[in-house]
Amino acid sequence: MATRKEARRKSLLQMLALVVVAAVVIAVVVLAQSWLRNRPDPEPENTTLTATVGDRDYEIHPYLVAEPGVEPDENDVQTIEVGDDESLTITVPQHVADHDWSAVLIYDDVAANDEVLHGPSESDTLTVPGSVDPLAERAERPKLVVVEIQSVLIGHNDAGEEGPYTTVWSVATQNAEDAS
């Protein structure tokens, strides 16, 4: 049978082990949070969005990345098929959704065009119909032509200095019937 002294010693060792394990867990959590908070976001030109139509996903690269005072280079606009009865869902990465971003929706009828503004952490997705109800009494439904997403991201110039970059992603749409 264990003596009272051995029982106290065993209890003390168990308590010490518990304190050490708790300290290690807390240290790991604090370090992980610090690393996640301080890791750099990707450069604006490397930030991609995801466009989804039905079960098809597309990676959308920036159309334009503009540094203040520098003439920007324009890239190609990706074209994807969106049927009249389908919806296009755009998902922005968390580092874009964490602050203001906007979307311009352009239809083949100017009256149907729209702009959607998102504040910080409001949303990371936007769903846009392939066509909308006509605003005037006419037979055709306005069809989606272009969706442009815009945000200001922090990037680095050639000298390695941080600065704001206006970043624009543009997606042109076409109807499967129009593509043939």
Residue 130 is encoded by which pair of tokens? 């392939």
Give the Å distances, CA to CA, from 57 to 60, 81, 159: 10, 11, 36
Please give the model's pTM, rounded to 2 decimal places. Answer: 0.75
pLDDT digits (tens, 9 = 90+) for 74-115: 899 999 999 989 999 999 999 999 999 999 999 988 888 999
Predicted pLDDT at 11: 87
Predicted pLDDT at 32: 80
136: amino acid identity, one letter: A
83: amino acid identity, one letter: G
pLDDT digits (tens, 9 = 90+) for 9-48: 888 888 889 999 999 999 888 888 877 666 677 889 999 9
Is the distance from CB of 140 to CB of 84 less than 8 angstroms? no
CB atoms within 10 A of CB 38: 7
SS3 171: strand
For the cut 70, the answer to whether the pLDDT of residue 2 exceeds it is: no
Q: Report the percentage of the chain scoring pLDDT > 90.
A: 56
In the chain, where are the structural domains located?
Answer: 1-39, 44-179
CB atoms within 10 A of CB 50: 14
Q: Which of the pair, 102 or 179, is modelled with greater confidence? A: 102
